[in-house]
Amino acid sequence: MSNIKLIAIDVDGTLLDSKHQLTQPVIDAITEARSKGIYVVIATGRPLPGIKPFLEQLNYNSPNEYAITYNGSLVQEIATGKALVQYELSKDDYAYVDQVTRDFGTYYHAIDADHIYTSLEDMSWYTSRESYLVRMPIRYRALEAIPDDKNFTKMMVIDTKEGLDAFIASLDDTFTTRFNTLRSEDYYLEILNPKASKGHALKSLAEHLGLEPDEVMALGDNENDLDMIQYAGYGVAMANSNPIVLKEANFITGSNDEAGVAQAIRKFALEE
Provide the annotated active-site residues.
10
Q: How many CA atoms lie within 13 A of 57 on its CB side?
A: 17
Q: Are strands 234-237 and 188-192 parallel, antiparallel or unpaired?
A: unpaired
Measured torsion, CA atoms of residues 96, 98, 103, 106, in degrees rounded to the nearest 10: 130
SS3 content of the chain, % helix, strand, coil (to 5): 40, 20, 35
Rounded CA-CA distance 253/135 in Å is 30
CA nearest to 164, candidates 184, 137, 135: 184
Rounded CA-CA distance 95/91 in Å is 6
Phi-psi region of 23 (alpha: psi -120 to 50; beta: other; left: phi over 0): beta
Strand partners, 219: 9, 236
Cβ proximity of 154 and 89 under 8 Å? yes
Rounded CA-CA distance 46/23 in Å is 20
Rounded CA-CA distance 171/221 in Å is 25
